[in-house]
Amino acid sequence: MDKRERTIWKMNLLDNGESNYEFCKKRNIVGFGWGLLEHTTTDYEEFKELTKIEGKYYQDGKYAYALQCAMNAFDMMKSGDIILLHDKDMSFHVCIVSDEHVNINQGALYFEVNVTCNRKVEFLTKLLSEEELRNVGVEPSSCIARHTIEKMSSPDKEQLENYINNHILHG
């Protein structure tokens, strides 16, 4: 994939203040969970429709804002895109989306929700520190998602993309 086509996503893997990073890393996934109360599904498009029917996260013709943001991101995400995850020590983990599909998982293994939506990723071994980001002209706060997941659109995106391409992916 040409690096100009790559999108950088910022993702928050916290649930009630607890990090789901280790859980995701062991499974090579990143994801979100908004549980269905009455239904189960193994299909992402069906999950969206069932969420509307159940109504807990869909009211007045709209999804809950955070869920809509997460689904929009997962719908736009492509194989080869970069995802930044931060931990409590403010180190940034880099992973690469490794397939085009949104997968559905169910059951107690996937925490308290009965359905989680996830993407397969490859976690890279190199972490980025706040200091390292500042040294390449990137403000660390611009790498932190305010919601579950969002596209990085700050002026820092190009510098960060170049640094990741030259020092992490091909360095």
In which band, very low, low, confident or very high, does the pLDDT at 96 lie, cut at 50, 70 and 90? very high
| Strand residues in the chain grouped as ranges (E) | 8-11, 14-15, 18-19, 29-32, 58-59, 62-63, 82-86, 91-97, 103-105, 116-129, 149-151
- Residue 96's Cα: distance from chain center in Å? 10
* Size of the chain in residues: 171
Predicted pLDDT at 114: 63
Residue 113 has pLDDT above 70, yes or no: no
Residue 108 has pLDDT above 70, yes or no: no
Give the 3-state secondary structure of residue 16: coil
pTM assigned to the model: 0.88
Predicted pLDDT at 171: 61
Nearest to 147 by CA among 7, 12, 9, 8: 12
Q: How many Å apart are CA 93 and CA 102, to the nearest integer?
A: 21
Nearest to 143 by CA among 79, 75, 98, 82: 82
In which band, very low, low, confident or very high, does the pLDDT at 3 lie, cut at 50, 70 and 90? very low
